[in-house]
Amino acid sequence: MRVAILFLLGLGFLFAEDTPKNFLSEQERLSYHFAASLEKEGRHAEALQHYRDFAELYIQSPHRVDALEKVAMLYLRLERFREALKAYDEIVSIPPSAAEKARLLVARGMLLNRMGLIEEARSSWEQAMQQDSGGLWGSQAAALMETHAVLGF
């Protein structure tokens, strides 16, 4: 269980920008960085709420997806899997690039798999393969599907 959570956390924190640039306003920048500082201090529940507030307040921000992904990762860290899944669903509904959407769908599928929702996980990985056919995340999704087939899921 911990390995899967750490892998999912690694996906988000490895590929999500830690200190984004190009904020629309100084207030927006301060709001995001306040949430990030809470997270770095280990105050995960507070950071989660501030990232959530950021995403709701700055709907047009180029960093809204980053903030929502931080929400999903913090829910994972707090082992609140249903809330993490809702956060991934919200992120995927925002049209990111095809590769970014595929990455998020792979992570979402891994979470669904962890929750025992195998068919939903496979569906998420199939969507990732369609979004990033021939790319890194499409290949990752295909490998996960193949592993499931070998294991008989």
Domain positions in the chain: 1-94, 97-153
pLDDT at 66 over 80: yes
Burial of 65 (0-12, 13-18, 19+ CB in 10 A): buried
Q: How far apart are CA 63 and CA 50, in angstroms?
A: 13
> For the segment 72-103, what is each residue's pLDDT rounded down to a tens digit?
999 999 999 999 999 999 888 887 678 888 99
- Outline where the chain has alpha helix (H): 2-15, 26-40, 44-57, 64-77, 81-93, 98-114, 118-131, 136-151
Cα-based distances in Å from 8 to 13, 23, 41, 50 = 9, 27, 21, 21
pTM across the whole model: 0.73
Q: What pLDDT score does 6 carry?
A: 42
Rounded to an integer, the average pLDDT of 48-74 is 92
CATH code, residues 1-94:
1.25.40
